[in-house]
Each structure stands twice: as C-alpha cells, then as structure tokens.
C-alpha cells in the first residue's frame, strides 16, 4: 500500500512541482525550510487547496485527480489534520472537541478511551481550550484528529509553536502513536530531531521541489544532500538489541550487518532501537588499531567522498551491508589513507558517541 502525491501549483512567489511516493503504514516526514512548500502539500492532501494540476492517491483511494476531474471534498476525505496552531474549538470542552470528528466518522478502530490514554489527556476532558498549555493543546488536537478515524494523519509542524520543554513532553507520545495505531502519518517539520525520531520515509523539500526521498537511513547516509552539510550531520541506523553484558556495562546491538557495542541499555534483547552516529565522531583507519579504547571497529567500503571546501573537510560515505555511515574527516586524511570509492575502510566509533533514539 502506498501514498502517492503529484501536483503542480503556481504561486506568485513559489512554483510548486511535487512528486512523491511513500509506503503505508509508516511515517513520512516532509523536511525543509519554512516557505519551501511543505505545508502546501499537506493542504493539497487535505483538500483545503485545489491545485490546477494534481493527483493524490492513498491506498487505492483517489482523493483528487484533475486529469479525470475527480475531487473529493475535504469533509469526505478522512484526512486527520493537526494544525500548527491546534485550532481547538474554543466554545467546546476538551471532551467535546475530541468527539467532534468521532461523531461524524464511520465506525473505526480508534477508540475514545485508547486515545485519551495514549495521549495522557484524561485529566483535561472537562477543561476548555483557553485554559490549556501549548503542549496540552497539541495533544488534544492530535487526539481529535485521530478520533476522526483518518485514513492518513497529517501533522503540519505540530510542535513548532512549543518551547523545548513542551516539545520534549509531546515527542514520546508521537512515538507511541506511531507504533500503537499502525496509521500512515504525513509529518511536516523543519526540526531535524523530530525527523530522526519519527521518520520511516524522509522527503527533503527545497524551493517547491522534492530534492530527495527514500528510507530515512538511506537519505541521511548520503553525503551530497544538505543534511550532510550540517554541523550535526549524522547517520541513523535501525538496530536490534542482541545481548546485554552487565559486567562490562555494555549492550551489543546489530545494525547494518555489524555488531555495535554501546553503554548498557534497558531495552529487552530482540527489541528495535534507532541509533544516531554523528559524522564528526567517526574515525577512519586503514588497519585495525591496537591498544585503543574504541570498542567498535566497523569494516565497510567507501561509497563516495564529498568535498566540503567551506569546512576544509571531506564527507566520506561508508557502505555497510544494508546501511551506511558518514565520517567527516580532513581532506589530508583522505589522501593519507588513499581513500576512493570502492576502497575497504575501518570506521572507528566510540561507544559513548552512539546516540540511542527511543523507537
């Protein structure tokens, strides 16, 4: 099953030409700067915008196809939309807000009590929106959209108006939601931390066009995309907990066909985690070093090298079995090690440098 979006729309300041496909269920994150056209894509999916030339299909349901003249009005689309500014109805209690979509939707799998539990809003049901904090408003807005039994949940920067503390309060709920409900999610953001936490499919949008799209791990492992030019460029890998070694205070993970030792985790063996390995923390070696503190010596192949003249650096893409790493090193290091596409190389990763993302 998949989500397919294609449209062209000419704004005066920004012509949009979007084509993207993403598997469902799963979380597709649209990532790009403010004003790059991300929100317009959401508006077109929800039907609040009618582009001149447009075709949007989700799981074999055609929402709009200008070629055949099909246009499903927004109220029939069942696209749960979470707006940046929540848009709760001020004249209704939280409970009435939550039931607004539920009462108008066909019977569906998402129950009132489940959503209230999942989002931790049981204590808010009798309150009115004006008495809620920003984080509480966001959670209620997400709950209201979920209860309308959507075929796709669209979130337009739901956390952008929140401070770091409230944001930290919401992100775990979003993670739970993703796993508990098996619902396709289309998520717009310009915050990278939300991307690495939530995305299965990552779509980079720049100036009204799709710059790159694909599985998160594949996109972040590319050295030629703007993500790799950031100071905090990093590879993200899906990993599985293999075993714990409490006496060494280490946990063994398996990622990209390699084993990876990290500081001891609580997650049970067999569970999935996401790890983030910052490019500037990765050391490259031609031969395995002796007498060194680093636990992880990962054998890979150089896939490509992207020069970064601004930083006097080079970004080395390292291919593993079904994943990739990035290493930011000096051009001199590249020369000394004789690295080129296809060269075998060892990537040295400190256990302490591996960031575990809750999955």
Residues that bind another protein (CB under 8 A): 46-48, 74-81, 83, 85, 87, 89-91, 100-101, 104-105, 128-131, 144-145, 148
What is the smallest separation between the CB atom of 149 and another protein, expressed in angstroms?
Answer: 9
What is the smallest separation between the CB atom of 341 and another protein, expressed in angstroms?
Answer: 48
The rounded distance, in Å, linking the Cα atoms of 131 and 90 is 10
The rounded distance, in Å, linking the Cα atoms of 273 and 127 is 37
What is the smallest separation between the CB atom of 79 and another protein, expressed in angstroms?
Answer: 6
DSSP string, 255-274: ETTEEEEEE---SPTT-EEE
The rounded distance, in Å, linking the Cα atoms of 244 and 259 is 13
What is the smallest separation between the CB atom of 159 and another protein, expressed in angstroms?
Answer: 18
For another protein, give the closer residue by CB, 76 or 179. 76
For another protein, give the closer residue by CB, 129 or 256. 129
Tokens of 346: 């060892």
For another protein, give the closer residue by CB, 155 or 354. 155
DSSP class of 13: S
Q: Where are the alpha helices (DSSP H) in the chain?
A: 38-46, 74-77, 94-104, 112-119, 134-147, 164-181, 192-198, 216-220, 331-337
CB 359 within 8 A of CB 175: yes
The rounded distance, in Å, linking the Cα atoms of 252 and 255 is 10
What is the smallest separation between the CB atom of 299 and another protein, expressed in angstroms?
Answer: 50
For another protein, give the closer residue by CB, 115 or 227. 115
What is the smallest separation between the CB atom of 272 and another protein, expressed in angstroms?
Answer: 32
């Amino acid at each position: 099953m998949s989500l397919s979006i294609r449209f062209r729309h000419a704004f005066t300041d920004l012509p949009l030409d979007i084509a993207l496909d993403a598997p469902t269920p799963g979380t597709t994150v649209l990532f790009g700067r403010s004003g790059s056209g991300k929100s317009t894509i959401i508006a077109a999916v929800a039907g609040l915008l009618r582009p001149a030339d447009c075709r949007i299909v989700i799981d074999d349901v055609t929402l709009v196809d200008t070629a055949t003249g099909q246009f499903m009005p927004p109220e029939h689309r069942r696209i749960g939309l979470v707006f940046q500014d929540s848009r709760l109805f001020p004249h209704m209690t939280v409970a009435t807000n939550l039931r607004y979509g539920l009462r108008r939707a066909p019977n569906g799998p998402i129950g009132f009590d489940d959503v209230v539990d999942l989002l931790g809003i049981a204590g808010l049901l009798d309150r009115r929106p004006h008495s809620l904090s920003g984080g509480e408003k966001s959670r209620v807005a997400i709950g209201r959209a979920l209860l309308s039994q959507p075929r796709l949940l669209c979130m337009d920067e739901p956390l952008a108006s929140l401070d770091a503390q409230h944001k930290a309060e919401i992100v775990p709920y979003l993670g739970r939601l993703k796993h508990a409900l098996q619902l396709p999610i289309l998520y717009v953001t310009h915050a990278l931390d939300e991307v690495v936490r939530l995305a299965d499919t990552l779509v980079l949008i720049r100036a009204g066009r799709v710059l790159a799209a694909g599985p998160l791990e594949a996109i972040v492992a590319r050295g030629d995309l703007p993500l790799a030019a950031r100071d905090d460029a990093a590879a993200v890998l899906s990993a599985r907990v293999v075993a714990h070694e409490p006496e060494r205070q280490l946990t063994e993970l398996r990622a990209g066909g390699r084993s990876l030792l990290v500081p001891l985790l609580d997650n049970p063996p067999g569970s999935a985690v996401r790890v983030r390995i910052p490019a500037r923390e990765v050391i490259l070696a031609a031969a395995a070093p002796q007498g060194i503190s680093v636990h992880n010596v990962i054998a890979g192949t150089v896939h490509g090298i992207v020069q970064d003249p601004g930083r006097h650096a080079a970004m080395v893409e390292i291919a593993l079995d079904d994943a990739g790493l990035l290493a930011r090193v000096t051009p001199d290091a590249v020369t000394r090690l004789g690295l080129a596409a296809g060269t075998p190389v060892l990537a040295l990763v400190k256990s302490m440098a591996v960031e575990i993302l809750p999955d």
